[in-house]
Amino acid sequence: MESIQWFLLGVLFTLCVFGFAYASVRVKAPWYAWVVLIGGAFLVMFGIAWSGSSFIEGIPVSGAMGLTLFTGPGIIAMTLAWRYWVAPGLKAENG
């Protein structure tokens, strides 16, 4: 079970790297937007790893806490960065 978790985290990491590389070519966003996006992606993957490991070890409360404290802020940071810094760059390029 743990091998599947690490494999899927590796796939998620690779997709994030390719997605950010593609987006950096398409969108001219400020440097701090990329810092927030990459930091948010790191928090999401860290929260998933923390949660999965905690559930495998039999401590579900720690897993739920990891999802709440790490993955939640990561998703919020990525959403806000996309909405306020990246999406306007996409509209200006296409419009």
**Domain boundaries defined on the chain:** 2-85
Residue 71 pLDDT level (bands cut at 50, 70, 90)? very high
In the chain, the largest separation of any two C-alpha atoms, in whole Å, equals 52
Backbone angles phi, psi at 82, to 5 degrees: -65, -45
Q: What is the pLDDT of residues 41-65, one digit of tens each?
A: 999 999 999 999 999 999 999 999 9
Find all residues with CB under 8 Å of 16, minimum gap 6, and list them.
41, 45
Res 90 pLDDT > 80: no
Closest by CA to 28, choosing from 91, 89, 82, 94, is: 89
